[in-house]
């Protein structure tokens, strides 16, 4: 006989585990079906591992800069095995934290791979044994996985994004294929750890879907940190050799990296779930949903990467919660108008809203900028590379987009995100007293510049 629940989540990643906790808060009897580890790609192979290793890279950078801050130089040689071990400790602790939350909320965890027998019944298989789970409502949250380019061989030194931080050696020369968020993050991290890094992107610039001015600024920072950046070119030939690869780019450039990272996109995990058999509508592998995240089958929802809207963990959090709430009668709907996005390079790049080009195509706009080198706290920290940019409607002063490159950009962007969410004009930021000295004053300075009241910039420099 099947175990019967009010709601089931197929997948225990960001959408699944947060949706499950929200459903339990609403009093539902909840089960999560997960074949791997709780937390999904984000916790186990993506967001958290990357930022943990990045923290080690930041420490190494600070040690190498000791003389700038009045200290004698110290040894900053990375121990990659110790760095990866620290990453594993962090991941394991957070994973246990989620399990503890499940226990506290009386959420059942059903380990194994799930497959639909009907819209309300899931068969879960593990180690040759199966059990049945039945729920009045089900949320599909099976996520995504990296896509592999067939040009590159199956090799222990060719890594997909989800595998890269399990390596047990430090690459001498790392080739990163793909200049999106994952590619530029990994390039920045491994350069700070001491690897020679070449970054190749087939589009004309890095982060091709973000603001061009800011992406170009970030590319300049990476180049100044001795990362070779090649855009508008593709890899045309790959040959594996003893201890290295012979790489030829379409422009004739030849490279000999010992390690390759493929950061070129992701695929939706919708195969072999029984979705076609029960009639779920798909488009190019992603599940189609409405504003409430319901599929074409009443009572069956999908959330997270598998629906293909934003492949971001924090969006998946919100989608899992929204799906749980609507499934349990609250009428919730998703609103994607204000979605902060962060690229954890060194320094970070964070953005919310649209690019300058996108805004100008739809509205009369005004734009202002403020560099970190003119910021008191930037000088105090010795962090002079960075730029804050805000785009606002020229007539209404509503903020259309904001972009920040610099230390703690991912934290700073939320001041603007909250203002946008609340419909507040940039004048409100300008009229809000900001503590001094702080990095957030850069946002204040840009708001002042939008109104012709820039304090720490000469006229016309904004």
pLDDT at 388 over 70: yes
236 and 212 assigned to the same domain: yes
Domain boundary among 235, 264, 293: 264
Is 276 inside any structural domain? yes
pLDDT tens digits, one per residue of 119-129: 999 999 999 89
- Written in H, E and C, the secondary structure of the chain is CCEEEEEEEECCCHHHHHHHHHHHHCCCCEEEEECCCCCHHHHHCCHHHHHHHHHHHHHHHHHHCHHHHCCCCCCCCCCHHHHHHHHHHHHHHHHHHHHHHHHHHCCEEEECEEEEEECCEEEEEECCEEEEEEEEEEEECCCEEECCCCCCCCCCCEEECCCHHHCCCCCCEEEEECCCHHHHHHHHHHHHCCCEEEEEECCCCCCCCCCHHHHHHHHHHHHHCCCEEEECCCEEEEEEECCEEEEEECCCCEECCCEEEECCCEEECCCCCCHHHHCCCEECCEECCCCCCECCCCCEEECHHHHCCCCCHHHHHHHHHHHHHHHCCCCCCCCCCCCCEEECCCCEEEEEECCHHHHHCCCCEEEEEEEHHHCHHHHHHCCCCCEEEEEEECCCCEEEEEEEEECCHHHHHHHHHHHHHCCCEHHHHHCCCCCCCCCCHHHHHHHHHHCCCCCCCCCCCC
**Residue positions counted in the chain:** 462
Distance of alpha carbon 156 from alpha carbon 255, whole angstroms:
19
Which residue's entry shows tokens 């192979």?
45
132 and 274 assigned to the same domain: yes
pLDDT at 283 over 70: yes
211 and 357 assigned to the same domain: no
pLDDT at 1 over 80: no
Is 292 inside any structural domain? yes
How confident is residue 385, by pLDDT bands cut at 50, 70 and 90?
very high
Is 455 inside any structural domain? no
109 and 69 assigned to the same domain: yes
pTM, to two decimals: 0.94
pLDDT at residue number 458: 78
103 and 154 assigned to the same domain: no
Domain harbouring 404, CATH code? 3.30.390.30
Q: What is the CA radius of gyration of the chain?
A: 24
Average pLDDT over residues 247-268: 96
Where in the sequence numbering do the catalytic residues fall?
436
Domain harbouring 218, CATH code? 3.50.50.60
Burial label for 27, CB within 10 Å (0-12, 13-18, 19+), is exposed
pLDDT at 461 over 70: no
101 and 221 assigned to the same domain: no
Q: Percentage of the chain with pLDDT > 90? A: 95
Average pLDDT over residues 244-271: 96
Is 35 inside any structural domain? yes
Structure tokens that stand for 367 in this block = 């734009």
361 and 421 assigned to the same domain: yes
Angle ∠(315,311,330) on CA atoms, nearest 5: 30
Is 336 inside any structural domain? no
Which residue's entry shows tokens 């503590």?
435
Burial label for 154, CB within 10 Å (0-12, 13-18, 19+), is exposed
pLDDT tens digits, one per residue of 398-445: 999 999 999 999 999 999 999 999 999 999 999 999 999 999 999 999
Q: At a CB cut-off of 8 Å and minimum separation 6, what does 423 contact?
A: 398
Structure tokens that stand for 170 in this block = 């430090």
pLDDT tens digits, one per residue of 210-220: 999 999 999 99
Average pLDDT over residues 154-173: 94
184, 203 Cβ separation under 8 angstroms: no
Average pLDDT over residues 338-357: 97
230 and 214 assigned to the same domain: yes
20 and 141 assigned to the same domain: yes
Domain boundary among 240, 264, 288: 264
Is 180 inside any structural domain? yes
Angle between helix axes 80-105 and 14-25 (nearest 10 degrees) is: 30
> Hey, how many other C-beta atoms are within 10 angstroms of the C-beta on 140?
31
Of 459 and 378, the one with more pLDDT? 378
Is 297 inside any structural domain? yes
In which domain, by residue range, is 442 found? 347-450
276 and 130 assigned to the same domain: yes
Domain boundary among 214, 242, 264: 264
Is 338 inside any structural domain? no
In the chain, the number of structural domains is 3
192 and 140 assigned to the same domain: no
Which residue's entry shows tokens 């996985």?
145
How confident is residue 462, by pLDDT bands cut at 50, 70 and 90?
low
209 and 248 assigned to the same domain: yes
């Amino acid at each position: 006989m099947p175990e019967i629940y009010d709601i089931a989540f197929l997948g225990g990643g960001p959408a699944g585990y947060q949706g499950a906790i929200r459903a339990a808060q609403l009093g539902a009897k909840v089960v999560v079906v997960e074949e791997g580890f709780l937390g999904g790609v984000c916790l186990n192979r993506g967001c958290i591992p990357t930022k943990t290793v990045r923290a080690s890279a930041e420490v190494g950078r600070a040690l190498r800069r000791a003389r700038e801050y009045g200290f004698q130089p110290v040894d900053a040689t990375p121990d990659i095995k110790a760095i990866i071990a620290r990453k594993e400790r962090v991941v394991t602790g957070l994973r246990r934290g989620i399990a503890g939350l499940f226990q506290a909320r009386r959420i059942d965890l059903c380990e194994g791979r799930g497959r639909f027998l009907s819209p309300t019944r899931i068969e879960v298989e593990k180690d040759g044994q199966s059990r049945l789970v039945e729920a009045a409502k089900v949320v599909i949250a099976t996520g995504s996985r990296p896509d592999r380019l067939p040009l590159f061989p199956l090799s222990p030194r060719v890594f997909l994004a989800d595998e890269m931080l399990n390596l047990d050696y430090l690459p001498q020369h790392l080739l990163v294929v793909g200049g999106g968020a994952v590619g530029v993050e990994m390039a920045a991290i491994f350069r700070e750890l001491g690897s020679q890094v070449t970054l190749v992107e087939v589009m004309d610039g890095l982060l091709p879907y973000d603001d061009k001015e800011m992406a170009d600024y970030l590319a300049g920072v990476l180049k100044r940190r001795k990362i070779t950046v090649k855009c508008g070119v593709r890899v045309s030939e790959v040959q594996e050799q003893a201890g290295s690869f012979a790489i030829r780019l379409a422009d004739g450039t030849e490279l000999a990296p010992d390690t390759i990272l493929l950061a070129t996109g992701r695929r939706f995990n919708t195969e072999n779930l029984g979705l076609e058999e029960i009639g779920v509508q798909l488009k190019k592998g992603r599940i189609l949903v409405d504003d409430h995240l319901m599929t074409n089958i009443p009572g069956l929802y999908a959330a997270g990467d598998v629906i293909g809207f934003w492949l971001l963990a924090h969006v998946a959090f919100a989608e899992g919660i929204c799906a749980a709430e609507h499934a349990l009668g609250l009428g919730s709907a998703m609103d994607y108008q204000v979605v902060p996005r962060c690229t954890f390079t060194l320094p970070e790049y964070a953005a919310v809203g649209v690019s300058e080009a996108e805004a100008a195509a739809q509205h009369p706009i005004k734009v202002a900028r403020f560099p970190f080198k003119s910021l008191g706290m930037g000088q105090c920290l010795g962090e002079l590379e960075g730029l804050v940019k805000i785009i606002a409607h020229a007539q209404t002063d509503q903020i259309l987009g904001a972009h920040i490159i610099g230390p703690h950009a991912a934290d700073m962007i939320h001041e603007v995100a909250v203002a946008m969410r609340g419909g507040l004009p940039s004048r409100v930021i300008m009229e809000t007293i900001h503590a001094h000295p702080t990095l957030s004053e850069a946002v204040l300075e840009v708001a002042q510049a939008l109104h012709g009241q820039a304090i720490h910039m000469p006229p016309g420099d904004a």
